[in-house]
Amino acid sequence: MERIFGVETEFGCLSDESLGTQEEVVEGIKDTVFFDLKLGAIDLHSRDDVFEPAQCGGFLLNGGRMYIDAVGSHLEFATAECRSLKDLVANDRAGQRLIVRAVKELGLEGQVSVYNNSVDHFGGHTFGCHENYLVRADSDLLSDSVQAFYPFLVTRQVFAGVGRVGGHILTGGLRPSYQEVMENPIDYIWVSQVYGVIADDSVPFQLSQRADHILKTIASRVRFNRALINPKWEHFYSHDGMTRLHLLFGESNQNEYAYALKMGTTALVLSLIEDRCAPDIRLAQPLAALREVSRDQTYKWIVALEDGGTISAVDLQREYLKAAQRYKGRSEDNDWILREWESTLDGLERDPMSLGDRIDWVAKRQIVERYMAAEGLDWSSDALHSIDLEYHNIDPSASLYHALEEMGEVRRIVSDVEIVDATTEPPPDTRAKGRGMMVREVLRRKGPRFYMFDWNGVAMDRNTYVEMPDPFETYEEVA
């Protein structure tokens, strides 16, 4: 596919109270990656005085970026720019392995756990897994064209959802208290109102961890105002009439197959929209459909259309699949996506619970139900939230998902060897390669006094700046 994509994942952290605050723990993990393991070049400059001050993170040897997000003080990893699904999955998993390695280097195994889940069952918080796609910067991208995107986006959770026990109800329209603002001032910059969260016991299990928290289709300020799409117009993502589409609705798949299928199908649907070939389908209420599909215990997943009709999520997805057949034969990735998209929809139609090897929400539900049967519990037990959480532990030695992987019960996209290689090697066919080479050069120097890395350029010293505007170029000849 002639498209650049990447993913940003926010990680949750649980740590022993004796280690100090969780903010101190994640700072220690970040510092270990850059200063002890020397796997990246820490920022010497402030990218943003408030949200990204100096030394809050930096670019890695593998072309990705690890940093502390000031809002919530959580660890975040942004993959390098990728052009193939395999490179994307490997780079993403490599970011997780670097975090696990840092925890071990600190000697904190058993005391610190890091998760790529997207919801805090008890605190009511939700964490992002944001997708980025390079798309044509059409003038109607976020007005008319996007209407053809919503039906696909809100129903792809039938194969892309990671599943969650229970639900949340938002109680909105509140103003943050003075004490809240004083205790966490960065969290409330540009925030005029907040919402409360209460548990919803009416739903035992649903497909999506994020669906209950999405309030808008499109929004620029998304703290307590989360949207499906968050417009981003930064110049370093724009090139030759293209720009960055930043999706907020999504969650971090543990299953590599689901991860690749989510990204691949979304990329093809964006191509349909760009080529004006997307199915003429409009939902009556996209956000209502989002929650209805997530919470439907019958797995019929019926959504209402703008014209007054209805359609199942699986049949709706088939309409996009049918239209996307025009891209068959153009690349190995395209052919894999089309083949596996169809296979997965067939499986969902026959028996969703037969797809535990490739869909996270199915695998998680099966684990939870086995635990319930073994312990004699019902869906009201708080213990189920812990099972839900441990599915997302990124440490292969502790994760419930990785236990399935160890037993050969899930489909893989990359091997462990390829993941290890991707911890230090960037994708070979994007500008991440040249950036990774320059990170390596900086790390060879003894006490470099000045350098500056960004997505679209690198200053190696005060006199040498390498522009990298084209994400499809490797820039290895100037690295």
- Catalytic residue of the set 36, 48, 69, 378: 69
Supply 304's token pair.
């209402």
Supply 232's token pair.
């981003």
- What is the DSSP code (8-state) at residue 240? T
Contact predicate 161/361, CB 8 Å: yes
Q: Cβ of 391: how many Cβ atoms within 10 Å?
A: 25
Angle 416-419-422 from CA coordinates, rounded to 5°: 155
Looking from the CA of 386 toward its CB, the CA atoms found within 13 Å total: 7
By CB neighbour count within 10 A (0-12 exposed, 13-18 middle, 19+ buried), where does 94 fall?
Answer: buried
Nearest to 176 by CA among 162, 191, 163: 191
Cα–Cα distance for residue pair 81/479, rounded to 1 Å: 17
Cα–Cα distance for residue pair 442/479, rounded to 1 Å: 11
Distances (CA, A) of 151 to 176, 211, 290, 293, 325: 34, 14, 9, 11, 18
Contact predicate 95/8, CB 8 Å: no
Q: Cβ of 192: how many Cβ atoms within 10 Å?
A: 11
Contact predicate 32/42, CB 8 Å: no
Q: Is 378 a catalytic residue?
A: no
By CB neighbour count within 10 A (0-12 exposed, 13-18 middle, 19+ buried), where does 398 fall?
Answer: middle
Cα–Cα distance for residue pair 389/392, rounded to 1 Å: 6
What long-range pairs does 340-347 form, CB within 8 A, spacing at least 24? 340/257, 340/261, 341/261, 341/264, 341/265, 341/317, 344/159, 344/261, 345/159, 345/314, 345/317, 345/318, 345/321
Task: Give strand ranges (E) for 149-233.
Answer: 164-174, 194-206, 216-218, 227-229
| CA 459 to chain CA centroid, nearest Å | 29
- Helix or strand holding residue 467 (H, E): strand 464-467
Instruction: Give backbone dihedrals phi and psi of 167, rounded to 5 degrees, phi first.
Output: -155, 175
Q: Cβ of 239: how many Cβ atoms within 10 Å?
A: 20
Rounded (10°) CA dihedral 229, 341, 345, 78: -40
Tell me which residues are annotated as active site. 69
